[in-house]
Structure formats: structure tokens, C-alpha cells
Amino acid sequence: MSTQTELQNTIADLVLKGKGILAADESNPTMAKRFAAINVVSTEESRRVYRSLLLTTPGLSEFISGIILFEETLGQKTDDGKLLPVVVANQGIVPGIKVDKGTLPLSNASGDLITQGLDGLAERLASYKDQGARFAKWREVYTISLCNPSQLGINSNAEVLARYAAICQSIGIVPIVEPEVLLDGDHTIERCLEVTQAVQHAIFHALHRHQVKLEYMVLKPNMIMPGKMFHCKASPEDIAQQTLTQLRRSVPAAMPGINFLSGGQTPEEATANLNVMNVMAGNAPWELSFSYGRALQQPALHAWQGKTENTLVAQHALLKRIRLNGAARYGHYSTVMEN
Ligand code: 13P
């Protein structure tokens, strides 16, 4: 099969009405943090048990088209010996893989970060592909302050994302391009829009320079909202309106799908915001969906508590969030459905 056909097929399986992506690709340090909140020690075995629970939840494929896995998960098996990426694929869900190697401070750009992992990426991708991965994810991180992100930070991060995306496409892997402007800080919603606009403008410019085919990639952006420490919250209507304004200004119509990250929103907020976005989207050229980590997993993690006897109730909690976000894909969610 040509790489072009592979990319086409993966997009067709990944960007689907009513469905979204489950991010289950936390690095080991992040997983240790999540487990610490429920007093579970993070080991290869506890991560295997937890991720097996998530990936074997009955009914997942009704609302989930893709799952982003962490490298370790690709080689792990369920209790009855099935490889986890195979368990995913057998449900008709596309397995994906986080391929970046986390952030470091960017030299001469105080306060800005840059993501590692381009060296040897083509070889790693080829081996992930052999293990069943059909799409990849790479995250660049931007902090908002009075002077961050700097122009150097914006340009350098854009270049790295575009190089990653071009390498993915050259071997038939669909890239998810994730520029995350963090919620941390006390900035206004307008400042979030200004920064996100500059970030995405630079990224699409870089993607063009590197001849990335927008038809065969997915954007995973933050929503436009005030900082966590800003003195008042924005309504889902404000967030949806500002986010749609920003996306219409930045994202070409050739892009098939936009799958938001949740970034520290509560599960209910992330669902409500996605819902209004779809109500207000009108004739937007892209599917507006989710690629949530915490906003899908948090209730399940807390229901589980590291105990086998809680497996079913944890799976039930995951399925509930997934179903509600599936409804939000059509703008059919309402808070009464939470009960
Ligand atoms: P959150 O939805 O928890 O922000 O995670 C999404 C993700 O994949 C971050 O890279």
C-alpha cells in the first residue's frame, strides 16, 4: 500500500462524526503523579493493569475512533495474553503513539520550552508502525506570561512540529500536531487568543514550508479561555465563540479534524465547552472533536483506586464520559445528562 493510501485510510478511520480520541499516553513521571493522587504506586505492572482496564472497556468503539498509547503500552498484554495495541485495533479503533520525548528549556528564550525527540524519529516510527501504530502525537508547550512565549520560542517550536509532521507523513503515519498553550496563569481570554493565534500562525507557515499535507494530519489545540488564576471564569459560550474565531483565522479548510486537549479543565467543563462549540460551529470546514486525557480518565481513575474489584465501576465511569463527549460532538449534550 502506498504511504498516501495509508494516510488516507487512517484519516478516514480517525476523523468520524460522533467520535473522538482517548489520550492514554501519559509518560511514566506523569502517570506516577496521577497514581499518587489515588495512592497507587506507578510500576510497569500497575500501569499495565490500569491501561488494560481502559482499553478493554466494553462499548468504547461507539464513541472512540483512536487511542493514543505510550511506548511501553505497545508491548504490554492483557491478563489473558493479548497485546494491548491488538486489543485496540480489534475493536475497530486506530492505535496511535506519543513520540515526543518531553520538553527542555529553550536556550536564549527565557521561560520558553522546546520539545525533544527528532533524532532517530524515523527509525522509531518505523518500529512503532510494526507494532500497530497508525498515527502519532507530538506536543509543544507554551507558557503565557508578560513576555512569553517569545518570537524565538514560537518560531522554534513551529519548526520542530513541522519537521515531526513531515517525517510522520513520509512513512505513512498520520501526525497529530499538538501546540498546547497552557492554562496556567492569570491572563485574560483575549491574551490567550492573541498567543494561540501567533502560535498557530507560525505552525501553519512552518507546515507549508515543510510541505506537510494538511489533509492527512489532525490539529490538537487548546481552547481559548482565561488563565486558571484569572479572577473570573468564562462561560462555555464565550469560550466557544473565541475558540471558533481563533480557529477560523488560523486553520485552513483542508484540515479534516480538530481534536481539543482538555488541559486541566474539569471533565464536565471540557464536555460542555466542546458541546457549545459544535452548536455554534455552523458550516465550519473541520470536525470539532476531543482528544482528552484527564477529562476522560479522571473519574475512572478515581473509581478504580488500584483495586481489581473496582474494575467494572471504573469502566462504567470511563464509558459515561466518553458517551457524553460523543453527544457533545453533535451539540446534543446537556448537564442533566450528568445525573
Ligand atoms: P489532557 O486532555 O489531560 O490535557 O491530555 C491531552 C494530552 O494528550 C496532552 O498531551
Q: What is the pLDDT along the chain (339 residues), one digit of tens a residue?
A: 999 999 999 999 999 999 999 999 999 999 999 999 999 999 999 999 999 999 999 999 999 999 999 999 999 999 999 999 999 999 999 999 999 999 999 999 999 999 999 999 999 999 999 999 999 999 999 999 999 999 999 999 999 999 999 999 999 999 999 999 999 999 999 999 999 999 999 999 999 999 999 999 999 999 999 999 999 999 999 999 999 999 999 999 999 999 999 999 999 999 999 999 999 998 999 999 999 999 999 999 999 999 999 999 999 999 999 999 999 999 999 999 999
Pocket around ligand 1 at a 6 A CB cut-off: 23, 25, 139, 178, 261-263, 292-295
Q: In angstroms, how far is CA 124 from the centroid of its own chain?
A: 20
CA of 52 from ligand 1 middle (Å) equals 19
Q: What is the pLDDT of residue 13?
A: 98
Nearest partner of 314 among 326, 305, 324, 327, judged by Cα? 305
Is this model's pTM higher than 0.75 or not? Answer: yes
Cell numbers of 137, please?
502525537
Q: What is the pLDDT of residue 337?
A: 97
Residues 121 and 113: their CA atoms lie apart, in Å, by 19
Residues 323 and 19: their CA atoms lie apart, in Å, by 9
- The letter for the amino acid at 318 is L
Q: What is the pLDDT of residue 102?
A: 96
Residues 302 and 318: their CA atoms lie apart, in Å, by 10
Q: What residues form DSSP beta bridges with 135? A: 96, 174
Q: What is the pLDDT of residue 318?
A: 98
B/e letters for 128-151, b = 16+ CB within 10 Å, e = fewer, are bbebbbbbbbbbbbbbbbeebbbe
Q: What residues form DSSP beta bridges with 257? A: 218, 287
CA of 262 from ligand 1 middle (Å) equals 6
Q: What is the pLDDT of residue 12?
A: 98
- Mutational test site, ligand 1, from 261, 269, 274, max ligand atoms within 8 Å of CB: 261
Residues 136 and 168: their CA atoms lie apart, in Å, by 7
Residues 92 and 62: their CA atoms lie apart, in Å, by 10
- Mutational test site, ligand 1, from 265, 294, 298, 325, max ligand atoms within 8 Å of CB: 294
CA of 67 from ligand 1 middle (Å) equals 12
Q: What is the DSSP string of 106-157?
A: PTTSTT-EEE---TTHHHHHHHHHHTT--EEEEEEEE--SSS-S-HHHHHHH
Q: In angstroms, how far is CA 143 from the centroid of its own chain?
A: 18
Q: Which residues are catalytic?
A: 178, 220
Domains of the chain: 3-338 (3.20.20.70)
Cell numbers of 111, please?
521561560
CA of 68, closest atom in ligand 1: 8
CA of 148 from ligand 1 middle (Å) equals 21
Q: What is the pLDDT of residue 4?
A: 97
